[in-house]
Amino acid sequence: MLVVVTDPIISRFADLLRETAPGNDWEFVAGLSTESQSAAISRAEVLVCARLDFRDAAACTAGFVHITGSGADRVAVADLPVETVVSRTSHHERSIAEHILMSVLAHQRRLSSVTDQMRAGIWRSVATETDTALHRTLDELTIGFVGLGGIGTEAVRMCTGLGMKAVAVRRNPGASEAHGANLEWVKTMEDLPQLLAASDVVVLCLPLTEETRGLMGTKQFEQMRSPALLINVSRGQIVDEEALFSALRDGTIGGAALDVWWDAPTGTAAPESVSRFAALPNVIATPHHSGHATQTFVRRATEIAQNINAFKEGRVLSNILEPA
């Protein structure tokens, strides 16, 4: 089969893909022009991609499309032929859970501001300035998860293992991921105000849909505790950008750890929104890399290759995207 790979990240694991799914013709086209990529997509029997616009989707005749991450919002699935089989992959849960924990600790210990002070030659602690704020330990904190899929469940396990209390809201509170998780409670999305009021840390880890777009705005930030930290590892558009900036600037909330943004970078040039948020002393800014562990991509490449084998041999595929 002709397998076309347009995703530049998974292309770094070309040897693993070839080794795990031998006997195929592989074309890695991420470095080619848009026109050349489109031509390759139209020839593909299997397409491996992170993004796919509606024009390329309509021209795609591949029987199997494998998205290289868990989110399908950047792939025009609805414009693919109705018979096309689509799978996703994840394997980023551990890495993102560690990022969430890192952000909590960095915020509580004021890591960025304290490092800036030390670089400037300033030694500020309760021993030198008695009004310096004290930090809280993890077992004093409640962390609230908005969304409770694989990422949230892994983060709950990790954070509660270190003494944090955890609560969550999700679309289906009785779904299987919630069972066995060490949570104080799991409620519906209608109970979001209760979660915001109860949490020292609020983590957004839910997909971007028409229902979740703009979910966090001025009203929700006013419902949060004033020292609370917002962590977004889902999609930027779930948060109202201007409302968040105002809440951070005015001290309505204590801080934000942003790994996702409202616009995409141009090469290595960050979106305009990054500079103004990163300039705030209560913001931890990262370039959507919370899941970028070696383990994540080795496991993704392996699953993609195994699914290609299964598709070729007519066997059951993993992580099939069900029609909307």
The answer to whether residues 168 and 192 belong to one domain is yes
For residues 79 and 107, state if they share a domain. no
**3-class SS at 240?**
coil
148 and 176 together in one domain: yes
pLDDT at 297: 98
Quote the tokens at residue 107: 């915020």
Q: Is residue 261 part of a domain?
A: yes
Could you tell me if residue 318 is inside a domain?
A: no
Residue-wise pLDDT tens digits, 169-227: 999 887 755 555 689 999 999 999 999 999 999 999 999 999 999 999 999 999 999 99
Examine the domain organization and report whether 101 and 231 are in the same domain.
yes
In the structure encoding, which two tokens stand for residue 301, read together?
Answer: 């490449």
Q: What are phi and psi of 46, to 5 degrees?
A: -135, 135
Provide the angle, in degrees to the nearest 10, between the axes of the packed helices 111-119 and 93-108: 60
Ranges of H-type helices in the chain: 14-20, 34-43, 54-59, 93-108, 111-119, 150-161, 192-198, 218-223, 241-249, 272-278, 294-313
Task: Specify the CATH number for the domain of residue 80.
Answer: 3.40.50.720
Look at residue 324 and tell me if it is in a domain. no
78 shares its domain with 223: no
Per residue in 244-254, pLDDT (tens digit) is 999 999 999 99
Q: If DSSP codes are grouped into helix, strand and coil, which group holds residue 179?
A: coil
Write b or e for each residue in 50-89: b if 16 or more Cβ atoms lie within 10 A of its Cβ, otherwise e. Answer: bebeeebbeebebbbbbbbbbebeebbbebbeeebbbbbb
Backbone dihedral region of 22: left (phi > 0), alpha (psi from -120 to 50 degrees) or beta?
A: beta
Number of domains forming the structure of the chain: 2
Contact assessment for residue 240 and residue 221, using Cβ atoms and an 8 Å cutoff: no
Show the domain range for 103.
Answer: 93-285
Q: Are residues 98 and 67 in the same domain?
A: no
Same domain flag for 37 and 129: no
Check pLDDT > 70 for residue 85: yes
What would the pLDDT profile of 14-69 be if each residue is shown by its tens digit?
A: 999 999 999 999 999 999 999 999 999 999 999 999 999 999 999 999 999 999 99
Residues 57 and 198 in one domain: no
Residue whose token pair is 């992959």: 89
Does any domain span residue 120?
yes
Same domain, 43 and 169: no
Q: Of 192, 102, 98, give the one whose Cα is nearest residue 146.
A: 192
Task: Examine the domain organization and report whether 270 and 301 are in the same domain.
Answer: no
* Contact in structure between 132 and 126 (CB atoms under 8 Å): yes
